Amino acid sequence: MSISTDEIRTTVARYLTAHPGEAEHLRPLTEALEAGRDLTSRSEFDGGHVTCGAVVIDDNRRLLLIRHRALGRWLLPGGHLEPEDEALPYAALRELEEETGISWHGAVAPPGQDVTPVDIDVHTIPASQAKGEPEHWHADVRWAFWVQEPKVVIQAEEVDGYAWRSRDEAPTPKLAAKLADL
């Protein structure tokens, strides 16, 4: 069973109920949902598509960041949806395990964060001639997970480093503010 547009729509609605002040930031995503676009396809470039990220906090209250090889930036573990993904949080857990080796078995959602993502960030992805992709946006649905004593083994194809950082060093100030309360 694949992730459906209805699941994305329901998740976004739940998120906006919790964070109504972010409606303008999510406008590209909500307009694409209203237009009936297939936001689960990584080849949807008429605007963008949905990705999932894992906001991983260890038992020392630090945030896991990975250095994304293609973009050369420190980001959260995460990536594109796959046809076999059954739900958005599971896509985030799959990406977490693929990119960092941290098993989804040891990742626990904080109370209240299992149904509603901790953050949704819409951001621009630059064009890539190597991949034949035009500039587009990602709506990264970010799920929070606590892990204890994680052993990180990076996926060298996509990741060239990792670091445990203070939560205030999150990729966006908006996410950092939300993590201060976790």
Alpha helices in the chain (DSSP H): 5-18, 27-34, 88-100, 173-179
The pLDDT of residue 1 is 58
Tens-place pLDDT, residues 86-119: 999 999 999 999 999 999 898 998 887 778 999 9
8 Å CB contact between 29 and 16: no
Give residue 149's pLDDT.
85
pLDDT at 130: 86
Indicate whether 78 pLDDT > 80: yes
Q: What are phi and psi of 105, to 5 degrees?
A: -65, -30
Q: Which residues, at least 6 apart from 181, have a Cβ–Cβ distance to it below 8 Å? A: none
Q: Is the confidence at residue 158, as pLDDT, over 90? A: no
47 touches 32 (CB < 8 A):
yes
Per-residue pLDDT, 94: 96
Backbone φ and ψ for 146, nearest 5 degrees, come out as -95, 140
Mean pLDDT (the chain, rounded): 92
* Residue 63 CB-density burial (10 A; 0-12 exposed, 13-18 middle, 19+ buried): buried
For the record, the structure tokens of 119 come out as 């953050």
Distance (Å, whole) CA 50 – CA 144: 17
> What is residue 112's predicted lDDT score, i.e. its pLDDT?
75
Q: Is the pLDDT of residue 45 over 90?
A: no
> CA-CA distance, 9 to 14, in Å (whole number)?
9
CATH topology of domain 5-179: Nucleoside Triphosphate Pyrophosphohydrolase (3.90.79)
Per-residue pLDDT band at 62 (split at 50, 70, 90):
very high
Mean pLDDT, rounded, for 9-34: 97
**Total residues belonging to the chain:** 182
Highest mean pLDDT pick, 14-28, 29-43, 61-75, 155-169: 14-28
- Rounded CA separation 173/18 (Å): 18
Q: CA–CA separation, 40 vs 155, rounded Å?
A: 23
pTM of the entire structure?
Answer: 0.94
